[in-house]
Every structure is written in structure tokens, then in C-alpha cells.
Amino acid sequence: MSAYKSDFLQVLAERGFIHQVSDAEGLDAKAAAGPITAYVGFDATAPSLHIGNLLTIMMLRWLQKSGHRPIALMGGGTSKIGDPSGKDATRALLSDAQIESNIASIRSVFSRFLDFDPGAMMANNAEWLDQLHYIPFLRDVGRHFTINKMLTFDSVKLRLEREQPLTFLEFNYMILQAYDFVELYKRHGCILQMGGSDQWGNIINGIDLGRRLLNAQLFALTTPLLTTASGQKMGKTESGAVWLNADMMRPYDYWQFWRNCEDADTVRLLKLFTDLPLDEIERLAALKGGEINEAKKILATEATALLHGRAAAETAEATARQTFEEGTLSASLPTVEVPRAELEKGIGVLTAFSEKAKLVASNGEARRQIKAGGLRVNDETVTDEKMALTRRDLPPEGVIKLSLGRKRHVLLKPI
């Protein structure tokens, strides 16, 4: 559909969120007629969500801002299996305690994007999946899934084509995800599941199961795969994934991630990851040449403010300005404390960049960056991978400045 009657789908379309909709006309009519309930599922396989989850979190945000009810479904049950979609290998199994700890760690992120007082909610599929009885579940639900159809899904086909093992445990994931949709419909009247484009088949399974079991009309909506203008999958840095929890990625580094986006991606990212009005984004889209950097700074500040708060975003922006534009060493740069005795003995430069500052993911990546001239200590290029940082490297400011390229810096502070 080129135009929608509902504010919800109109906003998603204008801002570039929509890849596929199972029944666009039917969903649009439902959303235009009154409040609907929709959900996105998130597995708790790590203590933090990452930038790949942010696209669907923003859809839940726009859903609520359009007058509807969002559900963030935590996979307390399905995390015990692991989604095989897009994976070449079986995930390590987590204990119940690990999963609960991850959910507790993740919970704070949603409160930044959703308002739980008027009706947004978090649910946990362990509430119903942990109570299932195996034989009744197979009889009532499993009979609606054929092996023939399940073998056609990409999450299964790719693993089989690559001769990677797919366990019976993982094979059940798509059935449980479909069952989640049915349970949320029965418990909360949820009629829409949203997710990434790789979840299309799983969501369609839920729609089909809802029709077979309850004669329910359910809907699917997926987002495009998030890639950069140069075709790379978005969401990775030299030091690894872009995490949403502040204890796993500092607000300053998060700000820098957005500031360092490709020029050609700026407008699209402003539409997807900020609340800025479209007319303001169009004004920024008209900037040319070096002026595009101003738009990228606005993107970085607005995206960081949504996740970490306005104060943290403005501090990150000020730190970057002082470091890059005013040429001063800002006390607001990310700082890692190291024992003074350790510095007295000498800290290997590879260890400093990978384990201490976490500017790179591994010693091997540090070596590659040294060969490319990408690492600096106190603004001096590192040329020797066997170099050790000692007390002699402390400048008058009392901290050692480690830099990856021109954009990312961490201070080592002896204590």
C-alpha cells in the first residue's frame, strides 16, 4: 500500500521501517479503528540487547506513540533453546539463573523507549512454556506443523546445506515461537507480531497456528535488514557488538558509533533511530559537503539521548568537541583504572588496547591495527607490538591516552 489510513502504519512507512506485512489492508483497518496490541520477542542470551534489536524497539515506541499497546516479550523459555535463525552453530545452553540475570539486566533498556504506566508491558514466555506438558502439547499444537514445511524455512535449510548440525531442541524453536503468538492473543488480545526480516517464516507460523486453533485473525510485520550504504551489516565496531547497556558500551562510545556512520546513511538513520520530525530530517538531508557532519552529530546526540538520557548525550557531544575540535584532553573521555603496581611492571600494548581499554576485540585485531597504523598512545602511532606501557608514558595530566583511529579514545588512569 502506498498510503495508510492508520497513523501507526503511516509513520512506519514514512520512516522506512516496513519490509513485509502479511495483510497490510486488514492490519491498517484494525489500527485505524482503535487501539491494537502488538509484540516483539527478545531472547535473553546475553546481559544486554544490541543495536540489531533497536530497530524493533523503535517500532514498539512508535506503536505506543500512535496510541496502541506494545508488549516486549522476553524469551525466558525460548532462551533455553536458542533461535537457529541466521546461526551456523548451536548456541551454548544457559542455566535458568543466567537467563533470569540477563532479563534483569536488559529490563532497564525498555523503560527508556516505552512508557509502562499507560499500558506498555513486559511479558516472559517462561510463564507458559515452562508449564507445558509434552504429550498434550504435541497432540494439540505439534500436529499443525509438518516436517515438509519446516524444512523449507531458511533457518533450517541453511544449516542443512552447510552440513551444520541442527538439534531437535532448536528444531522446536519455531513451534514455540508460534505458540507464543497464540498465548499473547489469548491473554492480552495481541494481534500483531513484529520482528526482523529473518523472522518472517516464524511469525507466519504463529498466524497460521492462531487461525487453526482459535480461528483468530493475526498479522505479521517485519523490518528490512539493517545494512550500511556500502552493503555491510550494521551494528559492529572494531571492538565488537554495539550493546545497549551502558555497562557494556559507554555512552561516549555509543555516541561515537552514530557519529561515525557513513554520510549516505545519515538521513535513513535519523528516520529510524530518532524522534526528530520528518520536516527537520528533510532540512538536515539538504546539507552538503562538510556540513553533513552537523547532521551526524545531531543523529549521535538524539540517538544517545533516547537510550542513555539527554545529559549523557550532551556530555558525550561535549567530550567529542573538546577532543577533536578544541584539541584538549577531556576528563569526560572513557576512563579505565589500572593498578599503579601493574603499570610499574609494564602493561603490554596489546593487552592495554584489547583487555583494558577494549578498543579492539582481541590481541590479533590489535596487531592488525598496529600494522595499519591505527593505534596510538598519547597521540603517537604504535609501531611495535611488543611495546609496554610504564610510568614513563604518563603525561602531566596523569593518564595515558589510547586511541583507535581518530575517533575512539580511552584514558588509562593508574590508581
Phi then psi dihedrals of residue 131, to 5 deg: -95, 0
Q: Which residue has the cell 544457559?
A: 94
Closest CA to 298 of 322, 267, 328: 267
Give residues with Cβ within 8 angstroms of 209, minimum separation 6: 141, 144, 178, 179, 181, 182
CA atoms within 13 A on the CB side of 165: 5
Q: DSSP characters for 162-196?
A: TT----HHHHTHHHHHHHHHHHHHHHH---EEEEE
Residues 379, 380, 385, 387, Cα dihedral to 10°: -100
pLDDT in tens, the chain (415 residues): 568 999 999 999 999 999 999 999 999 999 999 999 999 999 888 899 999 899 999 999 999 999 999 999 999 988 887 655 545 445 567 888 999 999 999 988 999 999 998 789 999 999 999 998 877 887 788 888 877 777 777 667 766 776 676 666 677 788 899 999 999 999 999 999 999 998 898 899 999 999 999 999 999 999 998 888 877 777 666 557 899 999 999 898 899 899 988 899 999 999 999 999 999 999 999 988 878 989 999 999 999 999 999 999 999 998 888 776 555 565 667 888 888 888 888 999 999 999 888 899 899 999 999 998 899 888 788 989 999 998 888 776 678 889 888 778 888 888 8
Grid coordinates representing 342 are 601493574
The SS3 of residue 128 is: helix
Q: Is 37 helix (H, G, I), strand (E, B) or coil?
A: strand
C-alpha–C-alpha distance, residues 289 and 213, integer Å: 57
208 vs 47: CA distance, rounded Å? 33
DSSP state of 273: H
d(CA 39, CA 70): 6
Chain-centre distance for alpha carbon 390 = 37
Residue showing cell 513485509:
20
pTM over 0.75? The answer is yes
